[in-house]
Amino acid sequence: MTVALETGHSLTNLKHARILHAGNRFRAKTITASATATGSDGEEPNNGLTYEYWVPFDNSVPVPLDFSDAAWTATNVTVGSDGLTVTDDATNAVHSLSDTATTTAVEWVLGVEVERQTLAEFQLYLNDGTTTFTCFFDMRDGTVGTASNCTGQIQDLGNDRFYCSIYMTVAAATSTFEFRGSNGSEATTYAGASDTIKLLRMDLNPSVATWDFSDFSAQTGNVFCISGHNLGSRNGRLTFAHDSNGDTTYTTIDTLSPTDDSPIMFLHDGVSSAEWRVQVDRAGGPKIAVIRIGSALTMERPFFGGFSPAHWNRTDMLSGNKSECGQFLGRDIINKGFTARYEWKNLSDSWVRTNLDGMGGLIRAVRKEPFFIAWRANDYQDCDYVWTAAPVAGPIYSGTRDLVDFTIEAEGHGYE
């Protein structure tokens, strides 16, 4: 879960929930994506659906999921019948899988998702005919080793799976890229010992893409929200920016490197602008389903006791198998998302009528489309992208005074 605050911010009341909903998010005049993959037009993040993605780049790896394909050149390694399991042989030489792709003179990313087995270490390698870019990745402890002419990144995905990548500025050329085994001492020339590793996918794509949101007129916004992305698991980075005078020169508000693929709420002090930008870079095969920009509602009161964060309330479907004599044979888990109950007490009558009631108020807004909520931005990294499963019950006066209780029950997007 990711809540991020602008560096050096002056935000207050950060124990109070922030909500971006249909009534306070900005409405786009135009959407402009700097790059789109085949089948993606850049409009997807504006519709709020979590199954349609803005995908900036096609994968330049000719065959990214089957390493036994003839497109790959195998040198002193064999690839199993599954097309994924790579085994080195006893030859005292380089052990590699290689292919070629056309690169342009910009920053590029080469990444691979692996499942750790017995190979201690490997190297990602790219040569553009002028420069060689390499980085080692240690599978024993999941760390980045020595890099040359590039920057290495690694993300632990759990269950012995890692996403390892390098980013670097390359030349316009037919570039050779390789996966090379290593002996654990950062040597790629070594005598193999039938060690194995499973390659699940490989990505090669340009690094930088921008998604520009043009409003009808300048409004003061203080929040960017994102859901349905893979930037945490793919080592990506986000840059949030604006162009307040319409001269096409964007000013950076801040950057963020997500650590997982959960919903993101980035809060800042506020800028008046009609032009907003989300930039993605350093990710292998990036994608984003939902982007929202607007002016977040700050709830009048905080809450704590009695609340269970959404990611603690999984609605998984579990099915297990056991033998006739009671032996455990396995389990299937289908992640269906999360549930949460957000409850506020003792809201003032005037505040409720101003912020929850009316055409742009929260009560009507949450009926129309999903919304983002960070329940305690100062203390926890808990941001949810949720929707109501039933009509929201109206606020209720709680006693003899004009104080109001209000509750939203919601279901959340399953990102795991």
In the chain, what are the domain boundaries? 1-55+208-416, 73-206
pLDDT tier at 329, thresholds 50, 70, 90: low
pLDDT tens digits along 166-183: 999 999 999 999 999 999
The pLDDT of residue 311 is 78
CB atoms within 10 A of CB 207: 22
- The predicted model scores a pTM of 0.93
CATH number given to 1-55+208-416:
2.60.120.260
DSSP assignment of 314-367 equals B--EEEEEE-TT--EEEEEEE---EEEEEEEEEEEHHHHHHHTSSTTSHHHHHH
The CATH number corresponding to 73-206 among 2.20.200, 1.10.287, 2.60.120, 1.10.3470 equals 2.60.120
Q: CA-CA distance, 60 to 37, in Å (whole number)?
A: 11
Does position 328 have pLDDT exceeding 80, yes or no?
no
305 Cβ neighbours under 8 A, 6+ residues apart = none
Q: Quick check: helix, strand or coil at residue 100? A: strand
pLDDT tens digits along 81-113: 999 999 999 999 999 999 999 999 999 999 999
Q: CA-CA distance, 314 to 294, in Å (whole number)?
A: 29
Does position 139 have pLDDT exceeding 70, yes or no?
yes
Q: How many residues does the chain have?
A: 416
- Supply φ then ψ for residue 77, to 5 degrees: -140, 160
List residues bridging with 239 in a β-sheet.
255, 279
Answer whether 1-55+208-416 and 73-206 agree in fold.
yes
- Decide: 98 and 72 in contact? Cβ < 8 Å: yes
The pLDDT of residue 392 is 84
CA geometry: angle at 68 spanning 65 and 69, to 5°?
A: 75
